[in-house]
Amino acid sequence: MLSLTYFPLSPPPPLLLRRTTTTAPTPRPSRPLRATARNIAIEEEKDDAVVVRGRRVGEDPPLPAGLRREAMPGHVAVIMDGNRRWARMRGLPAVSGYEAGLRALKGMVEMCCRWGVRVLTVFAFSSDNWLRPKVQVGFLMRLLEGGMKDELNNFMKDNIRFSCIGDSSKLPDQLKELITYAEERTNHNSGLQLIVAVSYSGKHDIVQACQSIALKVKDDVIEPEDINEFLIEQELQTNCTDIPNPDLLIRTSGELRVSNFLLWQLAYTELYFTNSHWPDFGETEFVMALQSFQQRQRRYGKRDS
């Protein structure tokens, strides 16, 4: 470290001036803020303000160029495909692809929080994935559990509500307990709702809804004539959210199918397919998907006006 040595200068000759002394005024004690209703309200507002990713809730951060806030989708669903292919292309083991995919999901959650997406549903593990090798399935279960443990405090800090859908009967007991705990702990959060589909099947979702309705008919709770689309939607597993039907579905890695994911809920969803593998899906790719969505006209069967 460079050190500096200071050499004192010779004192100047005395000046022939009368020396006077002054006494510094005693500082007056600061008056406490008067406890008016206005001041109390301001302090309470400061204390109660929720800060999400460095900003107060209610403040709208700037959107990337080319996006319009009023046209943002309320619910985005994602089929996170291509983790193993991403790893294979780089000469890495499959587990590295899944770990990179988890990092991509964290980035996706952050973007949704900043840009005003209200619900994000991701297809983490299909009911058909149980047919994969046990070693791979075991790793995916541990990865999901570890990711939830790592992010739970962030969910609370960022006001994220966590939900899980799917057939939980096959999940490890420790993972089931963690899911229940995370859902209960974040239940009152009012920001982004993150829905993770684990051991999920769109067909099974519809079947279990029909079974639940059939039991209600059997028990004389409802009449067969009462069954309609609204009643079925109430029995689907996506009844955990106020926006059960996605506005936009994104599938990565070039596959052009929905793979038994949210079959009922995707009836009027806009579909977006990209060749990017999921670990490579970042801000640039998400902006492109949102721009494509915002350029479309959603008519729901109606003619152009």
Nearest to 122 by CA among 85, 147, 153, 159: 147
| Residue 179 host element (H or E) | helix 173-185
Strand, coil or helix: 190? coil
Whole-Å CA distances, 99 to 36, 92, 139, 164: 54, 11, 10, 20
**Interatomic CA distance for residues 236 and 166, integer angstroms:** 10
**Can 81 be counted among the known catalytic residues?**
yes
**Interatomic CA distance for residues 249 and 270, integer angstroms:** 6
**Residue 121 burial class via C-beta count within 10 angstroms: exposed 0-12, middle 13-18, buried 19 and up:** buried
CA angle 159, 165, 169 (to 5 degrees): 130
**Interatomic CA distance for residues 181 and 239, integer angstroms:** 19
Choosing from 47, 48, 60, 81, which is the catalytic residue? Answer: 81
Strand, coil or helix: 251? strand
CA angle 288, 293, 296 (to 5 degrees): 130
Query: At residue 65, what are phi and psi to the nearest 5 degrees?
Result: -55, 135
Strand, coil or helix: 279? helix
Place of tokens 């079947």: 207
Residues with catalytic roles = 81
